[in-house]
Copies of this chain bind each other. A is one copy, B any other.
């Protein structure tokens, strides 16, 4: 390990220069005019992997932007780790808020400013450089490695879901490791072990052929906004529990150990409330905010529209009203089942006076690597060695579609090891990654490879 770290520390200048080259490519996946840049970026990564001696390096076609694949599978007794990341980036707008051009990386106060520095080029590339260190110094890796760096994460991994199902054998591994998130705080490493799943739906109500005059029909004709309000209000009870029948049936309850662990995390609720400008937290009775965000399902109305919404008054009973809803699911809720249950319940709430149109999308399952899963011990040990302190085991309340797909398709544990710092401005102007976070990220990746060779995926947990 020492000579690996020595190599990494001795090559900081080169590794930084290579990252800068990577960051200069404006691989914005959502902009059609950047398609060639996206392709160029994939090729840049493939060339680097080829040069360091990875096998089966391939810029693989999808129905969208290509995915970069590479492997090294010559450690027969060691586990196989699938490294996931993405090389596409968010659009840089608004440009005028950037202090230096988004695709001209610059270092100020020890921070690398560039679009994609933290999300996710800098973090994904850290694994490249760790692999390079091993292959260069030892000619081998401690574990088998498969590497999949996609080009569509910022557009919902549009074609990557199908790609995964189309390449199940190629991608089969014992665990997935990724770094597309941040540490808990500067100096406090974290391993994220779970995301929530997602179901989206839209309710449209229609009660008349046209908007009606509220004078002639107020008290006579149905008001679809009123019906919509009644339905939405009925979706939660006084304890803020979701009332859809069967909604909680498959929810994996938190263990006493997990609740105790979450309660001990240095979560600063008041600072967060101040930052987002809310007057306290609300939610399901009987659970803490952290528990509710990470381990309890939620239902949110994302948007609502009906009738006249301009300045002044317009005395109408609108003909239509609609609302958009998303539900965050936890292990082991089934998105299709929840979507159907929501549809059934909402249909039962709609009176005959309205025509209900319900559409929905079972976006993805939650994924959860249990706190006591053996792989986490090894991941944690490597992280502890790298940062000199015990990592926190966290989850995120958000949903990462492609992780749901990995979880469903490959059925292997997933661990997210945040390498950047929480104030990295991802998706915003002046995105940055601390130079130090990049270097320590490379070391962390190397330590992860080194430590995971001791994991026996076949052993009983």
Contact = CB atoms under 8 A, between A and B. Distances in A.
A109 B319 CA distance: 34
Contacts of A208: 276-278
Nearest to A354: B279
Contacts of A282: 220-222, 351, 353
B304 A307 contact: yes
Given A220-B283, A298-B214, A324 B328 contact: no
B304 A220 contact: no
Interface in A243-287: 276-284
Nearest to A301: B225
Nearest to A225: B301
B301 A216 contact: no
A435 interface: no
A397 interface: yes
A222 B278 contact: yes
Interface residues of A, number: 79
A225 B328 contact: no
A367 to B, nearest CB: 13
A378 interface: no
A307 B324 contact: yes
A191 B361 CA distance: 55
Nearest to A360: B313
Interface string A204-241: 00011110111111111111011011101110100000
Interface in A168-225: 195-196, 198, 200, 202, 207-210, 212-223, 225
Contacts of A278: 207-209, 221-222, 353
A297 to B, nearest CB: 7
A429 interface: no
A372 interface: no
Contacts of A319: 277
B233 A229 contact: yes
A461 interface: no
Interface in A300-318: 300-309, 313-318
Best-buried of A209, A230, A282, A323 by chain B (most CB within 10 Å): A282
A23 B302 CA distance: 51
Copies of the polypeptide in the assembly: 2
Contact of A326 (B210, B315, B399): B315
Contact of A300 (B279, B297, B303, B317): B317
A305 B302 contact: no
A331 to B, nearest CB: 15
Given A226-B236, A302-B314, A324-B308, A396 B215 contact: yes
Given A229-B301, A307-B303, A216 B397 contact: yes
A351 B208 CA distance: 33
A296 interface: yes
A346 to B, nearest CB: 13
A374 interface: no
B220 A281 contact: yes
Contacts of A307: 301-304, 324
A301 B398 contact: no
Contact of A279 (B309, B352, B396, B398): B352
Nearest to A274: B209
Contacts of A318: 302-303
28 contacts: A200-B313, A207-B278, A209-B277, A210-B277, A214-B300, A214-B328, A215-B396, A216-B293, A218-B300, A218-B397, A220-B281, A220-B283, A220-B289, A221-B282, A222-B278, A223-B300, A223-B301, A232-B233, A233-B233, A277-B319, A280-B352, A282-B353, A302-B308, A302-B314, A302-B317, A313-B324, A313-B361, A315-B399
Given A212-B276, A219-B293, A220-B397, 6 more contacts: A218-B299, A218-B300, A221-B281, A225-B301, A303-B316, A303-B318
